[in-house]
């Protein structure tokens, strides 16, 4: 079976086409700047040269059409007809409390995703556009949605409730949901395999450090706490997001600076984090470069980022009364040995001992970066959310066929 995986954002759409027989990626790519003056489609087929196409793509329906067209293109494509795509799996960031696992898309499921627009205004409307765009272009294909929140539905109320009036939870479902669950789930499985131990025997802290960043405490293979909350703003300092701040800063700043709700939201989501402190960039590569050139603000941004991450790791070790494995994943976690070294430097009291050589080695494989004697094992595990989405999609569609 061929499964197309789609991660639709507000102005971008990433895709991967899988052949599920061997779980191979046949093609992958992304459409960027949807709805802007010139959109860019980048398409890659393993072993062939990357294709870049600049044109006007005004909406997600057109974006999916372009993706389908290039997949069947005689020169750049990998399929002879579009009906070879038998199922489409979508990443959906917010599944609220309704979805504890992936599901086949039905009218009820779509209604529920719409109901959750309020809780993930940057993400869910874009995912819904992706789903509708597939309906328009591939009308007879089964669609599956895989939620970032699903893996975290095992958290106990002590972890997911906020100490605010309970009526807000009852009326509006204000609670911690957590995100990047597909990634935390995938890397914890991979880590257990690498260790050769069942998940039931290990306490893990998984650090997904990309553009968005979150930490999860995983006990017996289940998420027991995670740093993102009602929305993907809480927790760690990120590229452009503040992470944890005193909530009183919101009304105080609104008052002093005469900001509207949407302005303060934009300040915390898009103009904070590494970008705000460094004044340079939200990209960790540029921060590290700035540090090396002696830029004090870049150094401060890096130090704050590390300090806040280290505090979460300590907190989650306490939350689980122990820690056996620390995992780094996603763009920064997989690629920045500097970040990993700095985080671990302050965690020797826990029994973490990093192997400098192993930490510096570059590889696409899951690997140890701690010394043999390190009491807590430290791993780098490349994430693969798309593969988990493809697997869930395949499994659900197979099940539906047999039913
Ligand atoms: N070699 C590197 N060193 C430091 N950071 C890196 C490196 N390569 C990528 N990154 C960081 O990874 C981030 C993207 O991570 P990624 O997980 O792909 O994010 P997302 O999926 O949220 O878009 C970039 O913003 C960049 O800061
Ligand atoms: C939920 C979230 O923050 O996702 P991303 O890291 O893709 O922005
Ligand atoms: Mg990501």
Q: In this predicted structure, what is the pLDDT of residue 198?
A: 96
Same domain, 353 and 213: yes
Say whether both 131 and 212 belong to one domain. no
Q: Are residues 138 and 73 in the same domain?
A: yes
Say if residue 254 is in the same domain as residue 127: no
CA of 240 to the centre of ligand 2 (A): 11
Query: How many domains does one find in the chain?
Result: 2
Averaged over 238-247, what is the pLDDT?
A: 97
Beta bridge partners of 222: 219
Q: How far apart are CA 103 and CA 389, in angstroms?
A: 11
Pocket of ligand 1 (CB under 6 A): 210-212, 239, 283-285, 330-332, 335-336
Vertex 96, ends 393 and 6: CA angle to 5°?
Answer: 35
Q: 210 CB less than 6 Å from ligand 2? A: yes
CATH number for 342: 3.30.420.40
Determine the pLDDT at residue 25: 97
In our burial notation (b when 16+ CB lie closer than 10 A, e otherwise), range 161-174 reads eeeeeeeeeeeebb
> What are the residues facing 330 on neighbouring strands?
none
265 and 337 together in one domain: yes
- 134 and 256 share one domain: no
Q: Answer left, alpha or beta for residue 231, where phi above 0 means left and psi between -120 and 50 means alpha.
A: beta
Q: What is the 3-state secondary structure (H, E, C) of 103-159?
A: EECCHHHHHHHHHCHHHCCCCHHHHHHHHHHHHHHCCCCEEEEEECCHHHHHCCHHH
356 marked ligand binding residue: no
pLDDT tens digits, one per residue of 249-260: 999 999 999 999
Q: Are residues 143 and 222 in the same domain?
A: no
81 Cα: distance to centroid of ligand 3 (angstroms): 30
Whether 160 is in a domain gets the answer: no
Beta strands in 167-243 (DSSP E): 203-209, 213-219, 222-226
Assess whether 19 and 133 both reside in one domain: yes
Q: Residue 192 belongs to what H/E stretch? A: helix 181-195
The verdict on whether residue 229 carries a ligand-binding annotation is: no
Which residues sit with Cβ closer than 5 angstroms to ligand 3, an ion?
210
Least confident of 106-110, 136-140, 299-303: 136-140
**SS3 of 233, please?**
coil
The predicted-structure confidence for 309-364, as pLDDT tens digits, reads as follows: 999 999 999 999 999 999 999 999 999 999 999 999 999 999 999 999 999 999 99
166/38 Cα distance (integer angstroms) = 48
For atom 8 of ligand 2, the residue with the nearest CA is 212
Q: Is residue 390 part of a domain?
A: no
- Please pick, among 118, 148, 225, 244, the residue that the annotation labels catalytic: 148
| Per-residue buried b or exposed e for 305-322, using 16+ beta carbons within 10 Å of the residue's own CB | bbebbbebbbebbebbee
In a shared domain, residues 347 and 222? yes
Q: Which atom of ligand 1 is least distant from the CA of 283?
A: 27
Evaluate whether residue 330 is within a structural domain.
yes
Cα(66) to centroid(ligand 2), Å? 25
Residue 87's nearest CA partner among 38, 37, 16, 24 is 16
Domain assignment present for 246: yes
Q: Is residue 303 part of a domain?
A: yes
Q: What tens digit of pLDDT does each residue of 172-191 get?
A: 999 999 999 999 999 999 99
pTM exceeding the 0.80 threshold for the entire prediction: yes
Alpha-carbon gap, residue 57 to 11, rounded angstroms = 10
127 with 205, same domain?
Answer: no
Compute, in angstroms, the gap from residue 123 CA to the centroid of ligand 2: 8
Beta-carbon neighbour count of residue 267 at 10 Å?
18
* CB of 234 closer than 6 angstroms to any ligand 2 atom: no
Find how far residue 309's CA is from the centre of its chain.
Answer: 16
148 is catalytic: yes
Domain membership of residue 321 as a residue range: 197-385
Q: Is 140 annotated as a binding residue?
A: no
Query: 3-class DSSP state for residue 241?
Result: coil
Residue 14 structure tokens = 């990433």
Starting from the CA of residue 285, give the closest ligand: 1
Whether residue 138 is found in the same domain as residue 229? no
Any domain includes 262 = yes
**371 and 231 part of one domain:** yes
The answer to whether residue 185 is domain-embedded is: no
Q: Assess whether the C-beta atom of 126 lies below 6 angstroms from ligand 2.
A: no
The annotation status of 334 as a binding-site residue, yes or no, is yes
Pair 209, 329: CB distance under 8 Å: yes
Specify if 177 maps to a domain.
no
d(CA 369, CA 379): 6
């Amino acid at each position: 079976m061929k499964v197309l995986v789609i991660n639709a954002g507000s102005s971008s759409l990433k895709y991967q086409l899988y052949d599920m027989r061997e779980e191979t990626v046949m093609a992958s790519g992304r459409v960027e700047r949807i709805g802007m003056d010139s959109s860019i489609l980048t398409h890659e087929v393993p072993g062939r040269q990357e294709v870049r196409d600049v044109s006007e793509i005004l909406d997600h329906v057109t974006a999916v059409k372009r993706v389908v067209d290039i997949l069947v293109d005689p020169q750049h494509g990998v399929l002879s007809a579009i009906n070879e795509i038998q199922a489409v799996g979508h990443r959906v960031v917010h599944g609220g409390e309704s979805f504890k696992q992936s599901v086949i898309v039905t009218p009820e499921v779509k209604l529920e995703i719409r109901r959750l627009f309020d809780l993930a205004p940057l993400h869910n409307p874009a995912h819904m556009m992706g789903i509708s765009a597939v309906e328009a272009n591939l009308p007879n294909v089964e669609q599956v949605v895989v939620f970032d929140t699903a893996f975290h539905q095992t958290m106990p109320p002590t972890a997911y409730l906020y100490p605010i009036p309970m009526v807000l939870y009852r009326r509006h479902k204000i609670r911690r949901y957590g995100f990047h669950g597909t990634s935390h789930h995938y890397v914890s499985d991979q880590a257990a395999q690498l260790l050769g131990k069942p998940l039931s025997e290990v306490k893990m802290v998984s650090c997904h450090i990309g553009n968005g960043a979150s930490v999860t405490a995983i006990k017996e293979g289940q998420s027991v706490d995670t740093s993102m909350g009602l929305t993907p703003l809480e927790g760690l300092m990120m590229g452009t997001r503040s992470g944890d701040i005193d909530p009183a800063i919101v009304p105080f700043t609104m008052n002093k600076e005469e900001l509207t709700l949407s302005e303060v939201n934009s300040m915390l989501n898009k103009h904070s984090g590494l970008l705000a402190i460094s004044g340079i960039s939200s990209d960790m590569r540029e921060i590290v470069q700035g540090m090396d050139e002696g830029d004090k603000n870049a150094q401060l941004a890096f130090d704050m980022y590390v300090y806040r991450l280290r505090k979460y790791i300590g907190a989650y070790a306490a939350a689980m009364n122990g820690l056996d494995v620390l995992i780094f994943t996603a763009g920064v976690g997989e690629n920045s040995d500097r970040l990993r070294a700095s985080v671990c430097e302050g965690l020797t009291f826990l029994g973490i001992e990093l192997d400098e050589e192993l930490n510096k080695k570059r590889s696409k494989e899951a690997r140890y970066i701690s010394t043999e004697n390190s009491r807590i094992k430290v791993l780098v595990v490349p994430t693969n959310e798309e593969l988990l989405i493809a697997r869930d999609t395949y499994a659900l569609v197979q099940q539906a066929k047999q039913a």
